[in-house]
Amino acid sequence: MLPQVLASGLSAGSIYALMALALVITYKTTEVPNFAQGDMAMVSAFIAYMFLTDFETGFIFAFGAALVFAFLLGVGFEVLLLRRMRKPTHLNLIIMTLGFTLALFGFAGWKWGADQRQFPFPVSANEVIRFGSVSISTLSVATILIAGILMLLVFAFFRFTKLGVAMQATQQDPIAARINGVPARAVVGLTFGISSVIGTVAALLTAPLITLDPTLMWDALLKGFAAAVLGGLNTPVGAVLGGYLLGVIENLFGAYISVEFKSVVAFLIIVIVLWFRPSGLFGRHHERKV
Amino acid sequence: MDKHPEVLLELNAVETWHGSLRALSDVSLTVPEGSITVILGNNGAGKSTLLNTILGVLEGQPKNGQISFQGTRIDRMATERIVRSGISYVPEGRRIFSELTVWENLKVGAYVQKDQLSTKKALERVCDFFPLLAERQSQAAGTLSGGEQQMLAIGRALMNGPRLLLLDEPSLGLAPILVRQVFDIISQIRDEGVTVLLVEQNARMALAVADEGLVLDSGELVVAGSASDLVDNAEVEELYMGAPSLPIK
């Protein structure tokens, strides 16, 4: 039974890890969690759905369009809404992300309604492959692989490209980045674009599993947040590990303790981490220069 | 002076405001190419503001006046473009990226370099100046000592191959032996053809390496001359060199 639980945990954890990574990338820039991230991804998933069903395009085109839309939505959110705030406090920024999420949620309800729609996808949640004693759906396999590859690409980008390193520098100290010639404002916009794309990949992998409606990413956002707190809001790698860990812990809890209380685990973890290790399992406490 | 005939940087009647407070008024000065020019003054005299104004870091400043670099107007230009045109800045407090490695910090400094080759050349040059940085290249910058961080900040600024280097209090918080070392390096940088504009409270040390000196007081330029003239100037002596430690108003 254990390998089966681990496989399910890894699959759920992949989604949490993506959401946690998306959250941490912008958190490191603004120092507030972007609560609109889930609904930005939800609306982008609806864009893919619209192309697939209304315009009957292929998967590649529809998903590509959704990712392009997600990128523009992320950049637009930062450039048109966040950046225009005058000397925002953290609370102001949080309220802006909450306001934006409510606007997106309202828009999705008005445009597409609250119906739960079947989301067409190349692989299925019901088609099962067996690896020895473990049965796993083709959708889960795709989720684990796609999420894993995407996160490796993101880490490689941050670590090895000039722009990626400049982005990390901007996250730590935007003024110092600017005086080194980094166009910090454009880089911050780009950060939100990349974060939105990562969140949207999570949404596109979640929609075929649980059907598409405006509440698509609520659970994933909260779990991604819990995962980021668990691993460390300041460390992208830690947040991703937190995501996998949360997926596995949750499924272990469901299998051996109680299925009914499975979704409570994430919040118990937040409470326990904040009590004993507020910077997360893999985070370092560091002071930030003002 | 005839030794440095070319003017690299020129400020003409520059005026900078911090909100409703005038931080610089009517500052005009020239920085000759190939020189070390030092700006002296007490805390709050406007020294850092002057450097920040040149680099365009302050939103909407300078309010009045012109700044030209190599004959081109740079006031109103975005900081990134000013850096791209050949001015580097070592800010007060160093502001290194403590979570990034030494090498990554240098890479950010080379952001405006167009290709890998020029980045590599700049890196070799910086490693010649600071062999220690080469040794520590994969170490997180936050784990360096204060002196090493200052070396890194200067090295990072040299990575874009600047013609003009702005330094804000490079000796601040360093042990005397390291201060001497930093000033030696500044002279070497000048000898390699990079013009240096330096803000310092350590007047005695700064004037010993500088060619030109300026004194700012309450946002106004009160004295300008060659460094040796300033050393002999009784007023400057009294104001800025009276006490061996820093005079603070």
pLDDT higher than 70, residue B235: no
| C-alpha separations of B195 from A181, B121, B124 in Å | 19, 19, 20
Mutation target among B48, B97, B113 for the A interface, most CBs of A within 10 A: B97
- List A130's β-bridge partners, or say none: A135
Percent share of chain B, pLDDT over 70 = 92
Strands B72-73 and B87-90: unpaired
Query: How many other CB atoms sit within 10 Å of the CB of residue A18?
Result: 31
Q: What's the mean pLDDT in A1-16? A: 90
B213 contacts chain A (CB < 8 A): no
| Euclidean distance between CA atoms B48 and A142, whole angstroms | 55
Whether B175 maps to a domain, the answer reads: yes
Contact B57 A175 (CB under 8 A): yes
Q: What are phi and psi of A179, to 5 degrees?
A: -75, -5
Nearest to B54 by CA among B29, B34, B21, B32: B29
Which residues are within 8 A (CB) of B123 and not within 5 positions of it... i.e. 6 or more apart?
B106, B110, B159
Q: Which CATH number describes the domain made up of A2-276?
A: 1.10.3470
Question: Across A86-90, A138-142, B229-233, which has the greatest mean pLDDT?
Answer: A138-142
**Paired tokens of B94:** 């160093």
User: Do B206 and B106 belong together in one domain?
Assistant: no
pLDDT for the residue numbered A289? 41
pLDDT tens per residue, range A259-275:
888 878 888 888 898 88
d(C-alpha A175, C-alpha B55), whole Å: 11
Distance from CA of A165 to the nearest CA of B (A): 7
Instruction: Determine the angle formed by the axes of helices B116-129 and B102-109, rounding to 10 degrees.
Output: 120
Residue B157, domain member (yes or no): yes
Identify all chain A residues contacting B99, using CB atoms and an 8 Å cutoff: 168, 172, 286
B108 contact A CB<8A: yes
Q: What is the pLDDT of residues A11-27, one digit of tens each?
A: 999 999 999 999 999 99
Which two three-digit tokens encode residue B242? 């009276």
Residues in chain B with CB shorter than 8 Å from the CB of A176 are 91, 95-97
The interface pTM score, or ipTM, of the predicted complex is 0.82
pLDDT, tens digit (0-9, with 9 covering 90-100), for A104-134: 999 999 999 888 999 988 888 888 888 888 8
B44 found inside a domain: yes
Which sequence spans correspond to the domains of chain A?
2-276
Our CA-based measurement puts residue A59 at a distance from the nearest CA of chain B, in whole angstroms, of 38
B23 and B76 housed in the same domain:
yes
- What does each C-alpha distance from B138 to A227, B99, B105, B159 come to in angstroms? 29, 11, 10, 17
How confident is the model at residue B247, as a pLDDT? Answer: 47
Does residue B175 sit in the same domain as residue B123? no
Are A181 and B83 a contacting pair at CB < 8 A?
A: yes
Q: What is the pLDDT of residue B238?
A: 63
Domain count, chain B: 2
Of residues A173, A179, A286, nearest to B79 (C-beta): A179
Same domain, yes or no: B82 and B100: no
B222 & B183 share domain: yes
Residue B237, domain extent:
1-86+162-241
B57 touches chain A (CB under 8 A): yes
**Does residue B168 share a domain with residue B153?**
no
Tens-digit pLDDT profile for residues A156-210: 999 888 899 999 999 988 889 998 989 988 999 999 999 999 999 999 999 999 9
**Domain finish residue from B137, B161, B185:** B161
Q: Are residues B8 and B112 in the same domain?
A: no
Chain A residue with Cα closest to B84: A181
Does residue B169 fall inside a structural domain?
A: yes
